Amino acid sequence: FHSINNIFFDSDNNIISKEEFYNKISDIGEVFIKPTRLRESGYARGCIIVKIIDGTDVYSNTSIKKIIETNYCNKDFLVQEKLISHKTFSEIYPKSVNTVSVTTLFFNNEIKVLNPILKIGAGGNIFDWNGFDKKGFIISMDKDGFLYDLAYSPNEKKWYSCHPDTGVVFKKYKIENLKKVLDAAIKMHSSVMRLPFCRWDFVVDEQGDAVVIENETPSCMLDQISYGEGFFGADTEEILSYLKNR
C-alpha cells in the first residue's frame, strides 16, 4: 500500500479512498512504513516498524491513522511487508535487516560486479548501518560469500574482529546465496545500460531469494575504506587511463 501526492493505492496499484486505505491496513500485522522521496527517507529517516491490530499499533498503543497523519502528512509513503533475513544474515545481528551493497560497472562491453559489502546493524539499531552517526558495521566479502577478517564501524572509526552484540566472528563467516545477489545486480544493470555505474542494495530473505532495494546515492568511499584499495581494484589503471583520454 502506498500514497503519492495524497492519492492512495492498494497492493495492486489501484486507486482507493483514504478510508479504504485505513480499512485495508487496520489488521495487517507487522509492517514497515517509510517515506518514498529520497530527501525524506535517506539514512532511514522517517522509517518505522509497526504492528497494526484493530487499527492500532500495538508497539506504541497509538492508532495507525494518528501515526500516519502525524509523521507522513502530505508526504509520499509506503506500507510494506516486513522482510525477514536469511539465517546467515540474522545470526550476525538479528535486530536489523542486514543488506549486501553491490556496485556494478559497465566497461569494455561487460557488466562487472565490484566489491560487495555487507552492512550490519548494532547496538539495538533496527536498521543496518546507514549513516556516520549510526551504530553498525561495513565489511568486505569475497564473491563466494566469505567475510573478510575485520568489520569497520564508521560511527566509532574502529575495526572489529567479531560483532560486539552477538560474538559472531567475522573471519571466513559464510553468507549464503551471494551468487543470487550478484547475478541479480548484473541483470538489473542490464536494464539501464545507459548508466556506466550503479549501486544496488539487496536483502536475502528467509527463503534465500535476493530482494533488491534501491540505492540512489552511490559512493566509492565505503568500498575503499572496507577493501583498503582503489575502488576499481585490478581495473583501476585501465579505467583511469580511459577517463583521462576521453
Q: Which residues share a beta bridge with 119?
A: 99, 138
Quickly list H helices, the chain. 18-24, 38-41, 64-71, 87-90, 178-189, 221-227, 236-244
Q: What are phi and psi of 167, to 5 degrees?
A: 80, 5
DSSP 163: -
Residue type, 95: K
Integer Cα distance of 131 and 102 in angstroms: 17
Which residues neighbour 194 within 8 Å (Cβ) at sequence distance 6 or greater?
A: none
Q: What is the pLDDT of residue 42?
A: 59
pLDDT at 218: 64
Quick: pLDDT tens for 148-196: 999 999 888 899 999 999 999 999 999 999 999 999 999 999 998 888 8
Q: Can you give the pLDDT of all 246 residues of the chain as single tens digits?
A: 899 998 999 989 999 999 999 999 999 999 989 888 766 555 667 788 899 999 999 999 999 999 999 988 888 999 988 888 899 999 999 988 899 998 888 888 889 888 899 999 998 887 776 665 568 899 999 989 999 999 999 888 899 999 999 999 999 999 999 999 999 999 999 998 888 888 888 988 888 787 877 665 667 777 777 777 777 777 788 888 877 777
Helix (H) or strand (E) holding 159: strand 158-160
Tell me, what's the pLDDT at 38?
62
Burial of 239 (0-12, 13-18, 19+ CB in 10 A): middle
> Amino acid identity, residue 43?
Y
Phi, psi of 108 (to 5 degrees): 55, 45
Give this prediction's pTM. 0.81
206 C-beta neighbours (distance < 10 Å), count:
12
Residue with cell string 492500532: 56
Mean pLDDT of the chain: 86
Going by the DSSP 8-state scheme, the letter that residue 85 receives in this structure is B
